[in-house]
Structure 1
Amino acid sequence: MTAPLSPAGRRRPHLLIAAATGVATLAALSACSTSPEAVSSSSTASAGASGTGGGSTVIQVVAAENFWGSIASQLGGTHVHVDSIITNPNTDPHDYEPTAADARTVTTAQFTIVNGIGYDAWADKLLATNPGSGRTELKVGDLVGLKPGDNPHRWYSPENVHQVIEAITADYKKIDPANAAYFDQQKAAFETQGLAQYNQLISEIKSTYAGTPIGASESIVTPLADGLGLTMKTPETFLDAMSEGTDPTAADKAAIDQQIKNKQIKVYVYNSQNSTPDITAQVKLATSEGIPVATVTETLSPAGDTFQQWQVAELQGIKAALHQATGK
């Protein structure tokens, strides 16, 4: 199955395989309103903190993408309301066209979170329509010191995820200092309990499989491979071409075929929301050569999962593939 490309060459991903297993979380998400194209879900988040805070203040938060929105919701608990603009797994965040409703949502936000690094330039345009509003703005790319042209998929970097957690909590405390202790409780519960299985799987994979060579369908996998200590063998030029919706070179495709046939990689990881004919052919070849295939997606899938449910399911799949390939 393949995902069609837009006239400009940009991919239009679609969900092929939903992440398989969920994990118990300490609390559900706070209400996450969505744009009209998105799938909506709502519940109340507390992330396990025991305090109720120093007042009834509710910070209005807008996240460009729901993976950051899920984290922001759990860190804020009952003292935030989070609207995530991109929530539908069938929506490509790269070339999303914001609606008038999105613009109104951003206008009333006290705190906005965008990925940056050229990933969601449309969000920058929304923010630019209402400058000087006094809102707090967090751009992940600026936080981690990256610029357009660098790999933008920072939610797949465990190190960057923890940096974002620190930054969101600090911003909440600046916006609502009366509830600073509450936000500290939320952060502690989220990091030690909410992310417990996520952190454990990362540690286990890194300690057991560090240095294992893998192949991948696009650059979304690279930050995760780095965080897990795995060695990416796929040419970076191919990974970038697939992420940006441009045609890969024949030389890169031939090199990947040889890596698979010669067993130079142990596992192949692909983004099932961006399955082009080239990727489909590589998955088929890897399977025929006995190389385990693991799946990731670009945004929360299913859309109602928390960040950690989504990531844990993917990490479990990668760990199982590595075990199958190496016997460890």
Structure 2
Amino acid sequence: MGMGLGKTKGILCPILLGIGAVFGFATMKVGYAAPHALSVVAAENTWGDLAAQIAEPDMHVSSILVSPAVDPHLYAPTPDDARRVADATLVVANGAGYDTWMDHLVQASALPQAHYVRADAWAGWHEGDNAHLWYDLNAVADFAQRFEKACEQADPAHAKAYAERARKLQADIASVQAQALALRPHVQGMAVAATEPLFTPLARYLGLDMKENDFQIAIMNDVEPPPIAVAAFEQDLAQRKLKLLAYNVQVEEPASKRLIDLAHKADIPILPLAEIMPQGTHWQIWISSTLTQIGHLLGVAQ
């Protein structure tokens, strides 16, 4: 998510479509475990939810960022955050330069590096790649596998339980992947765009043709988009060359708001996305409902 450029926080739009019954999982508890209990601290609730589905009830899982009103890039950790990390058995984060404040907390603690599980340790991610890894289905599957192993190493007594819960989660991830692969032939090659590169990992998985990349990279890097990129984006919307416009509901800034207004006028479908997962749901429901919404907006019956 880009920073600055006169941005203000928006209100998280509900995008769940009531398909929770498809999946089975435990509910993630949010709070602060007592010191010396086995615990996991996550930078963001998205990774915290995935961790909880494997670790709980044998480890208590809590997430630092749970509100869409907080920009993960700009978050300033509190002394309580530092204590939680110092007391944690395991710590999880997105990595990829997205939540470097957690790196600093871990470095200041005595936590072994093997107990710090970051999504960007996935072999498919390289320096400079897209940082929004919770929208990368393969990265999520890899994170779940590595986190399970970390749980087993930290708490061998419950290794069998961690493995069983991880198998259930991997089955749910596989169901989301299958849903995406079933949608892909119907949408592959369609021209889409976004106000920032939040949508890119999922769009790539679906075979969508992501346009307006210069504009998105500028927003991500907290600089004004080049005038030529703004003009091209506006022209493509006005001429209805794009089949879909995705935007980050947690951020409002003038350049993006104008594009959303133009998309409305051109009757181009608009997809709301978020960086912090809505509370009261789980990753697999959230992403599955997003895929369903993408199919609906692109005219694919599911």
TM normalised by structure 2 equals 0.89
Cα gap change, 1:13/1:322 in structure 2, threshold over 3 Å: closer, same or farther?
Answer: same
Matched residue, 1:79: 58
Q: Could you tell me which residue of structure 2 aligns to residue 94 of structure 1?
A: 73
1:106-126 C-alpha deviation (Å, 9 max, x unpaired): 000111112111111111111
Pick aligned residue for 1:168 from 124, 147, 153? 147
Q: Which residue of 1 aligns with 2:192?
A: 214
Letter in 2 for 1:267: L
Task: Name the residue aligned to 2:265.
Answer: 288
Aligned length: 297
Q: Which moved more, 1:139-148 or 1:166-175?
A: 139-148
Instruction: Name the residue aligned to 1:41.
Output: none
Residues 141, 183 of structure 1: alpha-carbon distance in 2 compared, 3 angstrom cutoff? same
Structure 2 CA distance for aligned equivalents of residues 118 and 199 of structure 1: 26
Describe the SS at the equivalent of 1:198: helix
Q: CA RMSD in A?
A: 2.5
1:152 aligns with 2:128: no
Q: 5+ residue gaps in structure 2? A: none
The one of 290, 294, 302 aligned to 1:314: 290
1:111 paired to 2:90: yes
Deviations 1:116-174 (A, max 9, x none): 11111111111121135576111222334645543211111111111111111111111
* Cα contact 1:109–1:135 (8 A) shared by 2: no
**Secondary structure of the residue that 1:95 maps to in structure 2?**
coil
CA contact (8 A) 1:66 1:299 kept: yes
Q: Does 1:229 align with 2:207?
A: yes
Residue aligning to 1:121: 100
> What letter is aligned with 1:60?
S
Q: Residues 100 and 191 of structure 1: is their aligned pair in 2 closer, same or farther, counting only changes over 3 Å?
A: same
Q: Is the 8 A contact 2:118 2:143 kept in 1?
A: no
Q: Identify which range, 168-177 or 96-105, moves more after superposition.
A: 168-177
CA contact (8 A) 1:202 1:228 kept: yes
Aligned to 2:39: 60
Aligned equivalent of 2:299: 323
Give, in whole Å, the separation in 1 of the partners of 2:169 and 2:109: 32
Do 2:188 and 2:207's aligned partners in 1 also have CA atoms closer than 8 Å?
A: yes
> How far, CA to CA, are the matches of 2:285 and 2:105 in structure 1?
30
Q: Where does 1:30-45 land on structure 2 (aligned, <5 Å)?
A: 30-33=28-31
Match of 2:256 among 276, 279, 284: 279
Deviation at 1:202, TM superposition (A): 1.1
Q: Give the counterpart letter for 1:103 in structure 2.
A: A
Provide the C-alpha distance between the structure 2 equivalents of 1:78 and 1:311, rounded to a whole number of angstroms. 24
Report deviation, 1:262.
Answer: 2.5
Q: Distance between the aligned counterparts of 2:262 and 2:179, measured in 1?
A: 28
- TM-score normalized with structure 1 length: 0.82
Q: Which of 25, 28, 42 pairs up with 1:27? A: 25
> 8 Å contact 1:116–1:148 — kept in the other structure?
no
**Among 139, 160, 165, the residue aligned to 1:181:** 160
Cα displacement (A) at 1:11:
4.3
SS in 2 for 1:323: coil
Measured in 1, the distance between the counterparts of 2:140 and 2:54 equals 13
Alpha-carbon distance in 2 for matches of 1:146, 1:33: 31
Alpha-carbon distance between aligned partners in 1 of 2:207 and 2:81, rounded to the nearest angstrom: 38
Task: State how far apart, in whole Å, the 1-side matches of 2:82 and 2:30 are.
Answer: 16
